[in-house]
Amino acid sequence: MIFVYGVQPDKNDTNEAFSDDIEKQTENVFENIDSLLKLAGATMDDVVKAQIFLTDINDLKKVSAIRNKYFSKSKPVSTLLEVNAMTRKGTKIEIEITAMIDKERI
């Protein structure tokens, strides 16, 4: 099992939010998750669970469209929650995932 927790949008390893646009932030988070999974020998197709935290539930449709693009083959169980704030100023989204791969692939 692979656990990736607390992925927020970032800007070149700084402590700044990537953008104030929810779609750009969401794309950035999913790209970061994809990169981390590749380092562990996995892909987005191996994700079995996703938890998404948003600061504005009205962004749900925009985030869901991007989520569905990244999970086009797999359909992980998901939870989406609205929260008051994130740890990094300007951040609108945070995602946690759990993936499973065969031991032979490690």
pLDDT per residue as tens digits for the range 21-43:
999 999 999 999 999 999 999 99
* 14 φ/ψ angles, rounded to the nearest 5 degrees: -100, 180
pLDDT per residue as tens digits for the range 38-93:
999 999 999 999 999 999 999 999 999 999 999 988 889 999 999 999 988 889 99
Q: What share of the chain is helix, strand, coil (3-state, %, to 5)?
A: 35, 25, 40
pLDDT per residue as tens digits for the range 9-23:
876 555 566 678 999
**Going by CATH, does the domain composed of 2-105 fall within 3.40.50.720?**
no
CA–CA separation, 106 vs 93, rounded Å? 30
Residue 14: its pLDDT value, please? 58
| Residue of 90, 84, 102 whose CA lies nearest to 2 | 102
Q: What is the pTM of this model?
A: 0.88
